[in-house]
Structures are given as structure tokens and as C-alpha cells.
Structure 1
């Protein structure tokens, strides 16, 4: 490092009020740099310290408004010259970078050693700061630089991949067996995960879960599966309703731009999961490649007032739950079965904000519920309601259980529940492993109509945010 540069960086860090036990900047490499022409007098300065919290590597705010915050949001005006100081608090090797602004420090390894980056926040939006050493971002060393006021419109431009729970197909009624054709398209698209986050989903027909396929026992079903030309992976389908090699997967390993087909007879009544079965299968499933097929009995299912299609799934991302921007897949978390996101119908708010499940007082509601997984068993429950009927493990030819509070559904499994909605209000669908609600798995069933005080009555105000 040149003498002039050491002096300049010494002045910068002295201005920031940092003290160092290291013998000098030359021992720790030059200060951070970027390709932009910026003033050496910063408009905004932040100081972060590397640390370990809850077994994860993190950045900790060292002073000021961000003091003691884990991976704090660094909020700056558009056009500001920004300095980020980094102090090594744990003695491991680290650096800091903001790739969108081409700012990247040198590595520091001694405890209490320090470095810095200086860059101009030249564009509005939300951008990552991170440690670029292999595995450190996935271990937790990533945060956000928020420049100006990011446009809400810009945050939600990604396609809406969440499946509408009201799209349940047409009941078969009393018709006889038929020949049925099902066409599916596999795609890889960056879709909306939440208000400020996206994920590169792999889908059937651009939705998560895929289409609700509805047939009758005895139908002869031809399934055509096409893989989009712009896909980068082979995809396939395994339907648990199929008797045959791989449930169809053995003959539907489809390269991008091609189509493969097979025909099967729907011999078993029930509600069955389908999913992609291309190695690594768990990765294809977690990315969104699951759905359900209903094989109705002869004469069809009994008529009800409302039917809904709900599936639970998990996402394993390098970024923590609640992070903004594009979320990246983490193989390490998938293998550890430690998802950052658990959701109904593909996104964080599919059944609380994007779509509205509604019924009237006195309606009978049927929910086709399945778990894509790939790993977690769901304890399906509706807070404030009791299932009048539960077709355990989606066995529609068995006598249903009655008066059930919570029902277990394994990954790759399903159930069908029915309930009469007797009292108006908003009822919360959850996985009763309730910590998962904090990871996103929740939905609303809104019941409209006149209250019957013989069922429930209180002079107290109803808290709409209450639960267990």
C-alpha cells in the first residue's frame, strides 16, 4: 500500500472515531475500494463488527442507531458518499462488499483488525452488503443497503406465482369414465415471494402449487408434460395416483424444449400429491414443483358450498426470513432440513393478502390440503374451528374421522377436511407447529353473516390479531 493511501485511510477512519489495536493498515491490506470516483469525505458512515450470534456468522452494528443490531439495514440518501467500516470481532478472515456499487474491501483476519469501503450510492433501491468469502453469506453475513425510498411498484413487478385456492377444477358429478388429457408446462421463473422479495421458482404451469387435476375413478388419463425452452434443468412428474414406473417419472425426464407423454388408468379413489422427480428430487420440490390430483369416486363427491385447494411447502434460502431482494437457494439448509420460509400456496402471503378464502354462515366448506414439503410434516389446524370430518391420509373410501381439532399430514401426503362455518369472523389456517407461523405459514378463512349468540358471545372487543 502506498504511503499516501495509508494516510488517507487513516484520516477517514480517525474521522469515524475508530481505535485499532493492530500495528497499522499495512499489516491488514489496503482499505476498501470501488470503481466509482467518490469524494474521500463521506456523507454517511456506518461501523459494523463481525461476530457469531445463535451459531451463525453475522455483522453487528457497532455504534449509533444501528448499535447491537444483527445485519442492520443501512439507510442512506440517493447520491450520498457512503463509508462502511468493518472491525473483525471474531478473529476469522472476513471482508465486506456491496457488489452493486463495485465496492469490495480487502480481507482482514486479526481480531480487532479493520478495513473499510467507500462508494457513492448512485441509484435508488435495496442492495446487498455481504462477506464474499465462500460460505460466509450462506452462514448469515449479509444485510441490506437501502438507498432512498425504494419504489413499492418496483418491488412487486415479479410474476405472481401463488395458486388461487378457489381454483379446484370441475366436479365430475355423475358422469361415467372418460378419456382425459392433462397438459402441463414446467417453467423456471423469478416470482414474487413477498412484498419485497423474490425467488427463482420451478413450477408446473407457472403456479405453486401446480394445477389441481380432477378426474374420476376409471378415467383413462393421458398426461403431456412439456419443459419450457428457456429452462436450464430437466424436469419430470411423479403422480402418486399412478400405478406404473416411477409414477410416470421414469418416462418423463424432459429436457428443455421437449415434451413427453404417458397414459394411465385412475384405479384408486383419493387425493394424491404429484411432484417433479428429477434428481436432486428434494431441490425440485422445494423450488415449487408439486401439486395434487383428485380421483373422485363413482357418482362424485357430495356437494358442498365451498371448496378450496391448499398446499404447504418450504423454501431453503441463503438469506434469512424477511430479507429483501432475490432469495437464493441454500443446499446446506435443505440437507439440514432447516427452512427459512414455510408457506401455503407458494408465497408468504398467498392466503392472507393475495387471495381471500371466504364463506357464509351456514356454509359447508371442503379443503383439499396437501404437503409438497419436501421435508416437514404439517399439523393442519384452523384456529377457532373444529373439523366436522377428516378423511385421514386422504382416504376417501374410508369412514371419515369426526370432530377433529388438528390433523397430521406428512410430506407427499394429503387430507380432505370438511367443516360447517357457524359463526362470522376471520379464522386462521396454520401448521400447529406454531413457530412456523413466524416463517410465513398462515392463511385466513373469512366467514360472513349474522352472529348466533348461542354459539359464541362476549361483550369484549375482538382482537383481529389474536391466536393461540
Structure 2
């Protein structure tokens, strides 16, 4: 029965692309998309290659902010379908890149080539692919990266735009939103070769970078109001699609699990450190606000070729987009990074903590009289 369901789902994906007028990617012998003549071949034969070690969010992989030469960045993403406890006693099947929702951050520079291997282990049930918003070409590379369970594929694309961009699975039809809101999304940061700049061309650098990926989950409930639990992602698909149609998420966590970056899991910084936060929203808008801090520099739409906005209190990250903000901490303490729809932040999980160490500055903030009984 399971194999019949999987075959039906995967067949529906192929039918979707056929109806949409796209030929699915095949072994054409030229490396291009089937049905199209190749005019220009790869131009980066002389570039050096590096292997980028993927790390789990909120961390960034090791990278250099300013470079003088372009390179080929080799990346490996392994798809994992896994059951996750997103809140105590509340479970869902997540579809993930490298086991996390969002998937790992990829970092390169404008003009680099990214050589990406996408692996779909035989233990998975579904066909997957990857649509990179940084990719120039039809369907964001989705047609070149379709892999059934037990397959892997390698593609290469040139980073032609500097900025922060979402990537996500997009296998066709209702599979697209179902996979995305099951956690199958991530982000890629393409830095300018000469680094980040303000509106006057002055260099902007950061000491540390963190990645936050907002998720909107739609867990179905039974007739008693309890969240349902399923034996596989396919078994819960129909109920989840019905819940998705309400456009009312049950959970809105940052980084896949409620509380993923709060309390003992808080992000770390020091007074005087400059932090860059890249924030992606694959399917639903958010309104980042750093309580007690600001966006000293904000690229709300993620385009590093545009001058950043400055001194922002709250900004927006559109659905299907990623943006970046930079702040230098001046006081120690616990800072909350939230989506400033505070219902979403406090009740639904759109919150992270940043624990900042260092010495206090009374010139910036001081309690003059401690709380006492009213006389």
C-alpha cells in the first residue's frame, strides 16, 4: 500500500510538470535542460574548488567576508524525512535538508560557482528537489535536481546576484507548499567580493553571523482538539493539506522547534561584538525586532547591491525571501529577537534569545530607584 501511495504521488508530480509545459530534466549528454540546445559552456575551469562543511542553523559555515578571487564551492545536502517533537507532546513529520528546519546556510561570493549535490536516501518515501532563489534559470534549478528515493544528483550554478536568498523543495503542484511548510527550506548568502558596504561605500564587517529561519507549521487536530500523530509523512498528508487551506498555522517557530534558540539554547554575543542575523521566511511574512537593540544596518529585501537602511526598530521579511540585519551590542543582558506580531512571538514560537556578556554602562541605562512599597 505504501509503495502504491508513493508511486501515485511521484506520478502526479511528473504530470504537473507536463501540464505546465516543462520537460523534466533527463540525461541529455550536454548538462543542460532536456529539450534545449546548449549555447555556452562552463567558464570556470581554472577556478579553485573548496568543500564547504555544512553546519546546523543558527550557525554559519566558515567563510571569508572579502575575497579577491572567485572559486567553486562544493556543497552536499542530504534529504531527511523525520518525525520531530515541535513542542512538548506535539509531533509532526518534517522534510528537511541535512536534518534541520531550516536547512543549513550556504555561503559564497558573487561570481562564485556553487556545485551542489542533493542526496535522497532510499529510506525516504518521496521525490524531492531544490529551487534556489539565488539561481538564474527556469524553476530555480528545480527541474535539474529531481531525485527519487535512492538517487543523488549534482548541479552547478553561478552566483550572479549578491544578497540573501531562500531555497526550498518544489516538486510540483500541492507538493510544493506541503514540502515547504513541512520544513524543507533554507537560505543561501551570496556576499559581494569586496564585502558589505554602507550607502557611502564604507566597509561593514561582522564578528559573528547567525541564521534564523521562520517556519509555519499546520498540525491537524482530532475531534477532541488534540494534535494528531502519524506513522509517516504520507499518512498525514491529506489532513495536513486540509489544515493548510485554512491559512491558520498551529506553530510559528524559529528554526523548526518551539524554543530552539531560547533559554540554554540562546545565541551568544559579547558587548562590542557586531552580529549579522540572516532571517528567511519561506512561506509566511515576519516582522523582526530586536528588543533592546536595533538594526544598525538592514537589507530588508536581502539585496547587498543596494544601500542598507539604518537604525531600524522593526523591519519585514516577505514570504519567500530572506533579509539581513547587523547590530553592535552595547549592553549586556538577554535580548529577545522576535517577530513583532507579539501573538506569533509569545504564543506561537517566533522568538529567539541572544545572551550578551560584558560590563554594564550606566550612562546608557540605569535604575535610579529600586521598586519599593507605595507610600
TM over 0.5, shorter chain:
yes
Q: Distance in 2 between matches of 1:461 and 1:385?
A: 24
State the shift of 1:330 in Å: 2.0
Equivalent position of 2:143 in the other structure? 250
TM-score calculated relative to the size of structure 1: 0.60
RMSD of the alignment, in Å? 2.2
Larger Rg: 1
Contact 2:181 2:215 in 1 (8 A): yes
Equivalent position of 1:367 in the other structure? 277
Q: Matches of residues 71-150 of structure 1 in structure 2 within 5 Å?
A: none
**Counterpart of 1:241 in 2: which secondary structure?**
coil
Instruction: Check 1:456–1:191 CA distance in 2 against 1; reply closer, same or farther (3 A cut).
Output: same
Q: Are 2:236 and 1:343 aligned?
A: no
- For residues 71-112 of structure 1, what are the alpha-carbon distances to aligned partners after superposition, in whole Å with 9 as ceiling and x for unaligned? xxxxxxxxxxxxxxxxxxxxxxxxxxxxxxxxxxxxxxxxxx
Contact 2:297 2:309 in 1 (8 A): yes
Instruction: Check 1:316–1:362 CA distance in 2 against 1; reply closer, same or farther (3 A cut).
Output: same
Contact 2:219 2:228 in 1 (8 A): no
> Which residue, out of 203, 220, 226, partners 1:318?
220
> Which residue, out of 173, 192, 207, partners 1:297?
192
State the shift of 1:315 in Å: 0.4
Instruction: Check 1:401–1:266 CA distance in 2 against 1; reply closer, same or farther (3 A cut).
Output: same
State the shift of 1:420 in Å: 1.4
Q: Are 2:300 and 1:398 aligned?
A: no
State the shift of 1:163 in Å: 4.2
Would you say how many aligned residue pairs link Structure 1 and Structure 2?
A: 298
Equivalent position of 2:209 in the other structure? 307
TM-score calculated relative to the size of structure 2: 0.75
Q: Matches of residues 20-419 of structure 1 in structure 2 within 5 Å?
A: 163-279=56-172, 280-301=175-196, 302-319=204-221, 326=229, 330-353=240-263, 355-372=265-282, 374=283, 376-419=284-327
Contact 2:57 2:102 in 1 (8 A): no
Instruction: Check 1:362–1:334 CA distance in 2 against 1; reply closer, same or farther (3 A cut).
Output: same
**Counterpart of 1:428 in 2: which secondary structure?**
strand
Instruction: Check 1:460–1:397 CA distance in 2 against 1; reply closer, same or farther (3 A cut).
Output: farther
**Counterpart of 1:247 in 2: which secondary structure?**
helix
Contact 1:386 1:403 in 2 (8 A): yes
Equivalent position of 1:450 in the other structure? 359
Please list every run of 5 or more consecutive structure 2 residues that lacks an aligned counterpart in the other structure.
1-54, 197-203, 231-235
Structure number with greater CO (CA < 8 Å, separation at least 6) is 2
State the shift of 1:173 in Å: 3.2
**Counterpart of 2:221 in 1: which secondary structure?**
coil
**Counterpart of 1:231 in 2: which secondary structure?**
coil
Instruction: Check 1:325–1:183 CA distance in 2 against 1; reply closer, same or farther (3 A cut).
Output: same
Which has the larger share of strand?
1
